[in-house]
Amino acid sequence: MSLKGNNSSFLIVAFFVTIIGIGIFIFSVNSLKPIKNKSNPNQPLVVSSSSSNLYETLSPASVPSRTIECKQAITYSTSGVPGPYQCPNGALNITDWKALAALEPSVLNLGYSPSSNQVQNALCNDVKANISNPIEETVYSIASLYYGWHFSSNPESIILNGTCHNIDD
């Protein structure tokens, strides 16, 4: 048994393994499909390097949700509040978001980093534009979940303490 013959066999096997590996790599790269932008199919989905999620951007928001999303049927309370805004697993209920967004509350447009005062102003503007307090409380809750807001004070207290008034009040 010659040492030279064993080296040749090894080199031939290594060559074919390398060729097969390159072929598998090329096939897997070519079979990747781009992620489609659900909110605007004509534009590519752009994911910021600072964001690790690929959640849908729900209208009227201009940025993607910072929490997981789900779709669950909603019902309306006697005061007209749709819900639930969260699914049993804690995810944001897209169906509820869309029902609330139809009322055009400005709170849903505030983005990731509004100040507490900006949130309070938007809450008051919504209430003054005839969105009821119970509905606006739910709007605040779902916006907080969507954007990942955490305030040391409760911006929603401006509704709860009666500082904002509905124009019909």
Mapped onto helix, strand or coil, the DSSP state of residue 158 is helix
Q: How many CB atoms neighbour CB 54 within 10 A?
A: 9
pLDDT of residue 51: 35
pLDDT of residue 85: 95
Token output for 62: 């201009």
Which single residue is written with the structure tokens 């909110």? 39
Q: Which of 28-32, 89-93, 95-99, 150-154 has the lowest mean pLDDT?
A: 28-32
Q: Is the pLDDT of residue 126 over 60?
A: yes
Q: Is the pLDDT of residue 117 over 70?
A: yes
Q: Is the pLDDT of residue 48 over 60?
A: no
Q: Which of 16-25, 66-75, 112-121, 155-164 has the lowest mean pLDDT?
A: 16-25
Angle between helices 133-147 and 116-128 (to 10 degrees): 150
Token output for 122: 């938007």
Confidence class for position 73, pLDDT limits 50, 70, 90: very high
H or E stretch including 92? strand 92-93
Sign of CA dihedral 122, 84, 131, 55: positive
Mean pLDDT on 131-157? 88
Mean pLDDT on 108-134? 91
